[in-house]
C-alpha cells in the first residue's frame, strides 16, 4: 500500500483516487523496469518498445505516435530518432504533409517487435495467473473513465 495521509480538504473519493494515482505511479515504474528487464538483450528499451508498437499498424507521423501514447511529439521524437539509428524504423515521404515524414518499421523492427511480443505473452500470462478477469476489466474501465475526465477541457 502506498503511504498517503489524506488532508482535511479531501473527500473520501478524492483520497481514494489519490491512493489510486500513487499506486499507478508505482505500478508504471515497476512495469517499465520489468519491460526493460524482459527485452534488455534485444537492444531496445520499454520506451522504444511502446513506440514500435504504435508504429506496428502502419507508417504514421511522429505526432500521431505521440497522440496514441498520450505524450508530446517533442518527447517522442528522440526515441524515434534512436530507433532509426538502430535500424528498427525508417522515415518515408508523407503524401499528406510535406514536412511531417511517416515512420515505418524496417524488417529488423518487425523482427524485434515479434520477439518482444512472444516474450510479452509468456510474461503477462504468468503475471495474470490467479487474477480475476472481471477485476482486471473493471480496472481497465476505471482507468479509461479517469482518462476521459482528464482529457476533457479543463480536466
pLDDT band, residue 1 (cuts 50/70/90): low
Residue 4 in any domain: the answer is no
Does a structural domain hold residue 2?
A: no
Q: The domain spanning residue 142 has which CATH number?
A: 1.10.10.10
What residue has cell string 480536466?
155
Grid cell locating 59: 507508417
Treating both helix axes as pointing N-terminal to C-terminal, what angle do 107-128 and 46-55 enclose, rounded to 10 degrees? 110
Do the domain assignments include residue 121?
yes
Residue 6 lies in a domain: no
In degrees and rounded to multiples of 5, residue 101 shows phi and psi of -65, 155
Q: What does the pLDDT look like over 60-99, one tens digit per residue? A: 999 999 999 999 999 999 999 999 999 999 999 898 888 8
CA separation, residue 142 to residues 21, 106, 147 (Å) = 12, 36, 9
Domain total of the chain: 1
Q: What is the pLDDT of residue 109?
A: 97
User: Which range marks the domain in which residue 19 is found?
Assistant: 12-148
The predicted pLDDT at position 7 comes to 85
pLDDT digits (tens, 9 = 90+) for 104-148: 999 999 999 999 999 999 999 999 999 999 999 999 999 999 999
Segment 31-39 shows an average pLDDT of: 97
Q: Write the pLDDT tens digit of every residue in 37-69.
A: 999 999 999 999 999 999 998 899 999 999 999
Write down the H helix ranges in 40-132.
Answer: 46-55, 62-69, 73-85, 107-128
Measured between alpha carbons, how far is 62 from 52 in angstroms, rounded to an integer? 11
Whether residue 21 lies inside any domain: the answer is yes
Measured CA to CA in angstroms, residue 39 lies from 8, 12, 101, 122 at distances of 45, 40, 28, 13
Question: What confidence score (pLDDT) does residue 106 get?
Answer: 98
The SS3 call for residue 140 is helix
What is the rounded distance in angstroms from the CA atom of residue 129 to the CA atom of residue 112? 26
Q: Is residue 7 in some structural domain?
A: no
Amino acid at each position: 500500500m502506498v503511504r498517503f495521509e489524506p488532508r482535511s480538504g479531501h473527500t473520501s473519493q478524492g483520497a481514494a483516487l489519490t491512493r489510486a494515482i500513487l499506486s499507478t505511479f508505482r505500478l508504471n515504474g515497476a512495469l517499465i523496469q520489468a519491460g526493460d528487464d524482459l527485452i534488455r538483450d534485444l537492444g531496445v528499451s520499454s520506451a522504444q518498445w511502446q513506440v514500435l508498437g504504435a508504429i506496428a499498424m502502419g507508417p504514421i507521423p511522429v505526432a500521431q505516435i505521440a497522440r496514441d501514447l498520450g505524450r508530446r511529439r517533442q518527447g517522442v521524437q528522440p526515441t524515434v530518432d534512436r530507433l532509426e539509428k538502430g535500424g528498427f524504423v525508417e522515415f518515408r515521404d508523407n503524401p499528406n504533409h510535406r514536412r511531417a515524414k511517416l515512420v515505418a518499421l524496417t524488417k529488423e523492427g518487425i523482427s524485434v517487435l515479434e520477439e518482444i511480443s512472444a516474450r510479452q505473452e509468456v510474461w503477462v500470462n504468468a503475471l495474470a495467473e490467479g487474477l480475476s478477469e472481471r477485476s482486471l476489466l473493471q480496472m481497465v474501465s476505471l482507468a479509461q473513465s479517469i482518462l476521459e475526465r482528464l482529457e476533457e477541457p479543463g480536466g
